[in-house]
Amino acid sequence: MKYAFVFPGQGSQFVGMGKELADNFKSAKEVFEEVNEALEQDLFKIMTEGPESELMLTANTQPALMAHSMAVVKVLEKEFGIKLKDKATFVAGHSLGEYSAACASGVFSLSDTAKLLRIRGDAMQKAVPAGVGGMAAVLGLSFKDVDALVEACTDENNLCVAANDNSDGQVVLSGHMAAIDKAVEIASEFGAKRCVKLPVSAPFHSPLMAPASEVMARAFMQVDSSDAQIPLIANVLAEPITDNKEIIKNLIAQVTGTVRWRETVMFMQEQGITDMVELGAGKVLSGIAKRSAKEINSVSVGTTADIEELAKNL
């Protein structure tokens, strides 16, 4: 058995996340307390009680999802004696999930990861004025085939790029709102089954996020880092790295760069990964893997029952 552990990105959050883990495990509760302390905010209360509008704010969503993922990691380690570095061939995470992966592999401390994600969320939100940019999911076109649609929606005043290559037939576009609206309108002419705007507040993973890249470059200078104990497959490379300076460089590039998730999963399959385990909230990444990487057994682990089942198999 060869395991890869992956960490979810924005969109997997829900009100109530983490409560059951904190109720059942002291180690999970300690994770949430440490994140609260690092952020000087009761983020756990927002995670468990809402309101949803507060949880959906990017600056809250990003550290919240990381905290849930790391609570699962700590429960596996402290309550079941299972360390990821002893079991994992690779770690990876989708967008903000790459920070969770870096934390889980020992690159950053939990407190620093929470602070970095708060800075990242704030910077991404402020990079573009509200309403100027957006994102849309294109269904039914491959990453290669979406190029023509992107070109048709781009002009000298409006930018459109492929931001997330999630799987065959699911590509997310990002850019100026006018370009995104046009993509939704004309996507069917390019062979897409559907093109739907996403409920996000900014054009993530596009060149419009350049101001946020600069903020993150400064933020990383303020934290300590170590080489990864588990090879981390970077979003913008779709290949593994362990050097901490390279990981930071690629996390900065990731703010404006494409999340190459389809290639990441294909790389895992080519490397003989038998089991991909999604740690944290939701089932987005395991769902994608079930559709696109048939040779990999993929599961999501976010509750006590999930953890107990995984521990038996590990």
Contact status, residue 50 vs residue 64, Cβ threshold 8 Å: no
CA dist., res. 53 & res. 113, Å (int)? 23
Q: What is the CATH number of the domain that holds 158?
A: 3.30.70.250
CA dist., res. 250 & res. 313, Å (int)? 33
Residue 209: per-residue pLDDT: 97
pLDDT in tens, 71-101: 999 999 999 999 999 999 999 999 999 999 9
Residue 294: per-residue pLDDT: 86
Same domain, 230 and 98: yes
Same domain, 182 and 276: no
Model's pTM, two decimal places? Answer: 0.97
Same domain, 261 and 298: yes
Which tokens sit at 68? 């849930």
* Domain-terminating residue out of 200, 217, 232: 200
Question: Can you give the residue range of the structural domain that contains 59?
Answer: 3-127+208-313
* Domain-terminating residue out of 170, 200, 230: 200
Same domain, 79 and 186: no
* Domain-terminating residue out of 171, 200, 229: 200
Q: How distant is the alpha carbon of residue 166 from its chain centre? A: 11
Residue 213 annotated in active site: no
- Catalytic choice (12, 95, 105, 167): 95
Same domain, 14 and 117: yes
3-state SS string for 280-312: CCCCHHHHHHHHHCCCCEEEEECCHHHHHHHHH
Interior CA angle at 34 toward 54 and 86, to 5°? 110
Same domain, 170 and 219: no
Residue 290: per-residue pLDDT: 87
pLDDT means per 10 residues, the chain with 314 residues, are: 96 96 98 98 98 93 98 97 97 98 98 98 93 96 95 96 95 98 97 93 94 98 98 98 98 98 97 98 94 92 97 91
Q: What is the CATH number of the domain that holds 115?
A: 3.40.366.10
- List C-alpha distances in Å: 171 to 111, 196, 226, 281, 298: 33, 11, 33, 22, 21
Q: What is the average pLDDT value for the chain, to the nearest integer? A: 96
Same domain, 97 and 27: yes
Same domain, 272 and 170: no
Same domain, 196 and 213: no
Same domain, 292 and 212: yes
Q: How distant is the alpha carbon of residue 7 from its chain centre? A: 6
Residue 174 annotated in active site: no
CA dist., res. 99 & res. 254, Å (int)? 11
Same domain, 106 and 22: yes
Q: Count up the domains in the chain and report the number.
A: 2
- Catalytic choice (68, 94, 176, 205): 205
Residue 38: per-residue pLDDT: 98
- List C-alpha distances in Å: 18 to 89, 105, 106: 26, 21, 22
Same domain, 33 and 152: no
Nearest to 208 by CA among 173, 255, 250: 255
Residue 248: per-residue pLDDT: 98
